Amino acid sequence: MKPTVSARVLLGALSLLLLLAFWLALALGATAVGLLAWRSLGAYAQAPLGVALGLLAAIGWAVGTMILKRGQVVVPALVLTGWQLLGTSLPLGVGALVLAEGHGTQLFWPSTTSVLLIAYITLVPMAVGNAAWFAVVGLLPTTVAGLSSILVPVVAMLTGALVHGEPLGPVQWAAMACCGAALWLVLRPAGR
């Protein structure tokens, strides 16, 4: 067998292994989400529109990530974050004013505390989180960047346990193990 043929066969086998590892990582991530969502299926059945909108938002996030990665956006991450937050705040603000409880009889206006909390959430977790996400998308391959968001439930569970004393049972530990294994599969060096 010629060296070039051997190299091609080896490259093909390695590509297949990487593809299998990606699909296994995706399945582990889906298993983690399923484990965490299982106990709330009854609540989800009561709000199918909410579930559908959540899935639509996830698809929008994925499409946006692909556009960001493949579109070669040359705007700095903080500028992109600012425009994104401004663009979404206008329709959300109008919706909050119009669709709030009592709509039709009186216009809803948030309290000073609510306005301060909204400003904090906008400036700290949203702006910093989006800037960090844009940086991750710029540095990592799309598949790895997309799967890195699997750590969000892990951070939420650990934070809930540390800050609020929420219990971590076998289901939560299994979900975190699935998340960790999924990330390990996509982040490990190709030869291992």
pLDDT score of 164 = 92
- pTM exceeds 0.75: no
Q: Of 124, 128, 118, which Cα lies nearest the Cα of 78?
A: 128
**Number of Cβ atoms within 10 Å of the Cβ of 110:** 14
Per-range mean pLDDT, top range of 18-27, 106-115, 172-181: 172-181
> For 27-67, what is each residue's pLDDT tens digit?
898 899 889 888 887 888 888 888 888 888 888 887 887 78
Q: Which helix (DSSP H) or strand (DSSP E) does residue 162 occupy?
A: helix 151-164
pLDDT score of 8 = 59
pLDDT surpassing 90 at residue 174:
yes
Q: In the chain, where are the structural domains located? A: 75-139, 141-192
Give the mean pLDDT of the chain: 80
**What does the CA dihedral 94, 95, 100, 102 come to, rounded to 10 degrees?**
70
Q: Are 146 and 62 within 8 A, CB to CB?
A: yes
| 172: confidence class by pLDDT, cuts 50, 70, 90 | very high
pLDDT surpassing 70 at residue 12:
no
